[in-house]
Amino acid sequence: MVEAPIKLTIQLGLVILLLFILPTQNIAASSPGVHAQGAILMEQDSGRVLYGKREHEKMRIASITKIMTAILAIESGKMDETAKVTERATLAEGSSIYLKKNEKIKLEHLVYGLMLRSGNDSAVAIAEHVGGSLEGFVYLMNAKAEEIGMKNSYFSNPHGLDDSEHHYSTAYDMALLTRYAMSNSEYRKIAGTSKYRAPQDGEKWDRIWTNKNKLLRMYKYSTGGKTGFTSLAKRTLVSTAAKDGLELVAVTLNDGNDWNDHMNLFNWAFSHYDFVSIVQKGKISGLENKHYKGKVEAARTFSYPLTEEERSLVKNEITLIQPPDKGKWKNPPSRVGTLKVYLNNQQIGVLPLYMKGTYEELEEETFWNTVKDVVTKFFMITVPYG
């Protein structure tokens, strides 16, 4: 005889694992205004949007383009290689690290020059070395943008100069890119470096670069970012900050007061939000069904940015696979159900649940293959749990 469906609604505090997170809108009573034409404040771990202003509007982005150039260089695996500077690179207009034709320089040094001093010559040298040509690198930039989910962006060059009408992004897309880049430890280190020394080919003296991102010196919670300016884009800025486990990404486009706007956004978020541990790695408590009690686990801890008022609005709903009539499996499945998480009745996460001690061996297995296998062998049931 089939049991009644197993369905649980549990308040904040259940031990769970969230694998897929969908951002929810901020419900804080008030938020700071910014001078920017377009802006966004996003939480790094969850991707939750805490503040937005015309965040999906396509705009020129200037040198914050170089975040894409930097992460592609880092991911290329060529950081220890030596690049040979071409004449095309030395002729790049605007900000420069003053590369010389035929100079040999380590790609790693070029990336530091790109991020700290916004060298347009460095951007071209990186593009030619990593992509084989400037045009080849631009293809890689747009392929990566598509991979990340930057749906309203297009790159025509590796530096952000106003040499094309078809070079644009949005505050939201640039936050997605920065969030992706900040998940890379090498990028994170470079973006947060205040000063860097690079040997110079054929010279006895080194190049010494100080980061143009003044927030690294002005704001004690700053962790990195990238500045930008062109005559058409005006001032653009991406910056990151962290305090008490809450990591933030701020983007402003066409903003004449960007330093203050970013600090105000960060201060507002730090005062209104906490990075709350909704779940802890290990056994899920509160299951009374005899087949599952004490036997279901989460793989890791999950935290989410919440205001004080939002904590009481978090609810979790569990759906478990119905065991056989006699409650015994010859070969029990590892993943035994799903858990949905809601904030103010809006779903913010869906996750698989595991039998105790089995999830580690399946971490490399894809979610959809597992779901297909489970559905083939068992039927899902949903029942009230008291």
The set of catalytic residues is 63, 66, 118
Q: Which residues fall within 8 angstroms of residue 369, CB to CB, at 6 or more apart? A: none
Q: Which residue has the tokens 């003044």?
A: 214
Q: Which residue has the tokens 């290990």?
A: 282
Residue 174 CA to residue 254 CA, distance in Å, equals 14
Specify the length of the chain in residues.
386
Q: State the amino acid at position 224 in one-letter form.
A: G
Where is 338: in which H helix or E strand?
A: strand 335-343
Residue pair 27/48 in contact by the 8 Å Cβ criterion = no
CA distances from 160 to 106, 109, 273 (A): 23, 20, 34
Where is 40: in which H helix or E strand?
A: strand 38-43
**Strand order through the sheet with 222-230:** 49-53, 38-43, 246-253, 234-243, 222-230
Residue 96 CA to residue 117 CA, distance in Å, equals 7
Residue pair 233/253 in contact by the 8 Å Cβ criterion = yes
The DSSP string of 259-314 is HHHHHHHHHHHHHH-EEEEEE-SEEPP----TTTTTTEEESS-EEEEE-TTTGGGE
123 Rama class: left (phi>0) / alpha (psi -120 to 50) / beta: alpha
Q: Which residues fall within 8 angstroms of residue 375, CB to CB, at 6 or more apart? A: none
Q: Take residue 32 and report the two structure tokens written for it.
A: 């700071």
